[in-house]
Amino acid sequence: MGRSQRSVIKIGQDLAIDFANTAGPASHPAGALGSWRDLVDFVELRSAVSRSESAALRAMGERDARACAAALDQARLLRDAVRAILGAMADRRVLKAEWIAAINQALVWGAGSTRLERRAGGWQLGFIPSWTQPFRALAPIARATADLVAQGRSAEIKRCANPRCVLYFRDRSRAHRRRWCSMAVCGNRMKVAAHARRHGRRRSV
């Protein structure tokens, strides 16, 4: 995975949004969720899981390809729900109950347990996720989506102003006037198109 792809994957500046953006066309660097390995690579790259956890997930793909294929299918359904939620938040529409139900279901897959661990010379409670099922890979994405939903309008969810682009992003700019998923991907392209239209009109006068 090259640097350009790594940067595009993080366009949304949020795990849930970046996951939703993998629904882009296959030719787009963010449009990559064609295999179980793609999904594992994504959650590892976005630091949603550790390297040891991602290694365990990849091993699951080798041991139980059918279960991981089912989890990948579920990941795509979850992505549909996340995209529907982001679209509604960007347009400030009411979220549907079935979208929230899909997120809550994925949150359940993050079940694990707590145990005492020695840290900094003392004992603290730590959460140990259960990695026995491949569906567990979707839980961090569900948590990130739930966080956005809980934030409501303050999350500042927007869709790219390029009508041909399918990407969302979180507007963290000071004035909240960001328009493009990326200046490199869509901003410059749209500015060049606008410039060409203006000069075309001038030549026709």
Contact of 31 with 165, CB cutoff 8 Å: no
Name the band, by pLDDT with cuts 50, 70 and 90, for residue 5: very low
| The pLDDT of residue 54 is above 60 | yes
Strand partners, 123: 118
Q: Which two tokens stand for residue 64?
A: 């139980």
Q: What angle do CA 58, 63, 66 make, to 5 degrees?
A: 95
Alpha-carbon distance 128 to 131, whole Å?
Answer: 9
Q: What is the pLDDT of residue 2?
A: 44
| The pLDDT of residue 65 is above 70 | yes
Alpha-carbon distance 202 to 205, whole Å?
Answer: 5
Q: What is the pLDDT of residue 118?
A: 79
Highest mean pLDDT (candidates 2-6, 7-11, 170-174): 170-174
Q: What is the pLDDT of residue 186?
A: 86
Q: What is the pLDDT of residue 203?
A: 52
Second-level CATH architecture of 3-204: Orthogonal Bundle (1.10)
CA 114 to chain centre: 27
